[in-house]
Amino acid sequence: MLRICTGKSAQICLNSTFRTARLRSANYQFAGASFVRFNSSNSSDPLVSKSEIQTQLPSFDETTSSAVDAGLAVSDQISQVVGEASSHVGYLSSIGMAKSWWWPPELIQNIMEQIHVYSGLPWWGTIATTTILVRLLMFPLYVKSSDTMARNSKIKPEMDAINAELMAATDMVEGQRVAMKRKKLMADNGIKNRYLAAPILQVPLALGFFSGIRQMANYPVDGFTNQGIAWFSDLSLADPYLGLQIITASVFISFTRLGGETGAQQFSPMMKNVFTVLPLLSIPATMNLASGVVLYFAVNGACSVLQTLTLRNKWFRQKLNIAEVVKHEPTPGAPAKGIIETFKENMEKARQQAERRQAMQDNEKKLQASAKELKSNKNIKIVHRSDFKKSRN
């Protein structure tokens, strides 16, 4: 409604109109739940200045942008907190890993966490360092195993003859005599075959590395996604170029052709071909594994090559008093046997030996039964002194 002011009351009328407009504006702002700050320090007017009155709601895009910015800020704070927690011992335990020191995967996770926290190494360096330390701890066992294999190679012809004699034994007494002969031969040459189990001890450790690192990559543990190196910067993803798989296959082929991890194993040409094909087949088999897992395979294989070269070195073997490997020429005229033929022959020998052992046990039981029956039929019996006194009384 438009009011027209004239005469003396013009000034009073204008003031009344302005006051009404101000009150309506304030009522509208209150009804819209919009609160404004009064600039009481800069203005003597108790009402809101025109520049501070919001006449329009913020747009949806502005509201969304503000919410996204706030969410990113919170996410950055959470990431900072997690990153700080992962640099302390106990982080893996807090997310359900590394709960014990006796189960191989959790043992490896505990060791890796200790190295990662106290050394400050990134995760790729932690995996490599842990692998190298474990191989160094097991190196003395491989030295003993290499020495045992070399001593066995020295007496191989005599041992083969004794084993053939033992396989042909049909009597329990004869078998025990041949077994004692073999034991004496090994003792005279300082052979303790228990050290041949050293490579087998690496199996639970290898499974622990594989399972432990794979669990950390699948989670993924903080830092696994950005603490890689070179072309595999994300340890939780598969190697996009299969570089780690190719390196692993190459080093495994190398150390098997050099004589295995002990440097003293003698493989036939057929077995060398098999150990060449198997690592190549491992490339497609491991192409989908996380880079952290395959990194362990590559570092472990590189350690095997260095260990093989070290144990093959004559100067090193002399310093550690490791026997030299004796290579025997194959029997002239002996036909070359393939893997399948050798396997069938060994299975047949094992079956025949089991049958002879069972026959010897049955024969021994018969002899014991006949001896017991003969003893019961004798007129003179052996009586204990206490039983004799009781019978007299």
Nearest to 149 by CA among 262, 309, 2: 262
Longest dimension (CA), the chain: 163
Specify the pLDDT at position 323: 87
Which pTM does this prediction carry?
0.66
Nearest to 96 by CA among 265, 254, 280, 219: 219
**AA identity, residue 232:** F
Contact 303, 248 (CB under 8 A): no
Instruction: State residue 238 phi and psi, 5-degree precision.
Output: -70, 150
Specify the pLDDT at position 341: 67
Specify the pLDDT at position 330: 61
Sites in the chain below the pLDDT cut of 50: 1-15, 17-18, 21-23, 25-52, 60, 72, 74-75, 78-79, 81-82
Nearest to 64 by CA among 72, 76, 54: 72
Nearest to 53 by CA among 70, 32, 72, 69: 32
Specify the pLDDT at position 275: 77
Structure tokens at 53: 């009155």
